[in-house]
Amino acid sequence: MFQFIVRRVIQLIPVLIGVSIFVFSLMHITPGNPAHIIAGESAPESTVEQIENRLGLNDPLPVQYFRFVKNAVKLDFGNSWRTSLPVTTEIKSRFLVTLELAIYSTIFSIFLGLIAGIISAVRQYSFSDISIMLLALFGLSMPNFWLGLMLMNWFAIKLGWFPPTGWGSFKQIIMPVITLGTAGAAIIARMTRSSMLDVISQDYIRTARAKGVRERVVIYRHALKNALIPVVTIVGLQFGGLLSGAVLTETVFAINGIGKLIIDRIMARDFPVVQASILIIAVIFVVVNLLVDISYRFLNKRVDLDG
Tens of pLDDT, residue by residue over 128-173, are: 999 999 999 998 888 888 899 999 999 998 988 999 888 888 899 9
d(CA 186, CA 271): 36
The residues of the chain scoring below 50 in pLDDT are: none
pLDDT at 236: 81
pLDDT at 127: 92
166 Rama class: left (phi>0) / alpha (psi -120 to 50) / beta: left
Asked if residue 79 is part of any domain, the answer here is no
Q: What are phi and psi of 165, to 5 degrees?
A: -135, 175
Per residue in 178-222, pLDDT tens? 999 999 999 999 999 998 888 888 888 888 888 888 888 888 877
- For 21, the domain range is 2-73
Single-letter amino acid code for the residue at 198: D
CATH number for the domain spanning 200: value is 1.10.3720.10
d(CA 23, CA 264): 17
Same domain as 113, residue 38: no
Same domain as 257, residue 214: yes
Same domain as 67, residue 104: no
Asked if residue 84 is part of any domain, the answer here is no
d(CA 307, CA 304): 6
Same domain as 215, residue 115: yes
SS3 assignment, position 163? coil
Number of structural domains in the chain = 2
Q: Distance between alpha carbon 266 and the CA centroid of its chain, in Å?
A: 20
pLDDT at 132: 92
d(CA 211, CA 81): 69
**What pTM value is reported for the model?**
0.81
Same domain as 285, residue 174: yes
pLDDT at 282: 84
